């Protein structure tokens, strides 16, 4: 990779970013396509988020990805937000266009693509268990609801956040059977009744398990974000 005055600069913001593989993946793609682009990781703490967005725009960045814990908070610093991102209440991609910072959400679409193509799984009529209630969980819950998941259970350490997400989804999809629970509930029973299990929590970044492997069965499709 040769960096010069014509290089288009992109990257990812979040905190922490020790485990992200995005720079490796994106820079490999740029090189394969012979593009004079660069993708860099930028650890940004919550208290510096607004200044970071303003600075990246001023520096001429073409765009950035946004990861935990900024997907929801970043919206207040953007000029525009796509319709899907508004519904999801979270942004994972920002395009800098002139003086504008425009937010998008590709989490749900990418999730569904992987689910169907790589997992051979169709959500229609199935049961899903989502661990976590943040921006990524919201995007995925909406996409599953849009694709006719029958039962959706959201489990989160803070039950209020799980209820808020469940109510948001239910207000748009009245026929969906959706529940919000805490981790103090009977997790093995919830896992046993699910077809799809999605971990959207940061557990696992530094080791450790949120679910013991012996709770999984052959019928389960498990995805970790």
The set of catalytic residues is 71
User: What is the distance in angstroms between the CA of the first residue and the CA of the last residue of the chain?
Assistant: 29
In the block, which residue shows the tokens 């981790």?
A: 183
Q: Vertex 117, ends 111 and 123: CA angle to 5°? A: 60
Both structure tokens of 79: 């000029």
């Amino acid at each position: 990779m040769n960096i010069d005055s014509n290089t288009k600069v992109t990257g990812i913001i979040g905190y922490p970013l020790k485990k992200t593989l995005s720079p490796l993946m994106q820079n490999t793609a740029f090189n394969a396509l012979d593009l004079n682009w660069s993708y860099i990781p930028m650890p940004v703490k919550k208290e510096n988020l607004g200044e970071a967005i303003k600075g990246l725009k001023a520096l001429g960045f073409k765009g950035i990805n946004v990861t935990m814990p900024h997907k929801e908070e970043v919206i207040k610093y953007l000029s525009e937000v796509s319709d899907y991102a508004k519904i999801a209440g979270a942004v994972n991609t920002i395009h800098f266009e002139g003086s504008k910072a425009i937010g998008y959400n590709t989490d749900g679409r990418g999730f569904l693509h992987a689910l169907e193509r790589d997992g051979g799984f169709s959500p229609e009529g199935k049961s899903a268990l989502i661990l976590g209630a943040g921006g990524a969980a919201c995007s995925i819950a909406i996409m599953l609801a849009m694709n006719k998941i029958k039962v959706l259970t959201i489990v989160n350490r803070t039950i209020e956040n799980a209820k808020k997400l469940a109510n948001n989804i239910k207000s748009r999809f009245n026929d969906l059977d959706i529940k919000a629970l805490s981790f103090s509930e009977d997790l093995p029973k919830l896992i046993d009744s699910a077809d799809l299990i999605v971990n959207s929590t940061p557990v696992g970044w530094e080791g450790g398990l949120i679910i013991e492997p012996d709770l999984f069965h052959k019928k389960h499709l498990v995805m970790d974000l």
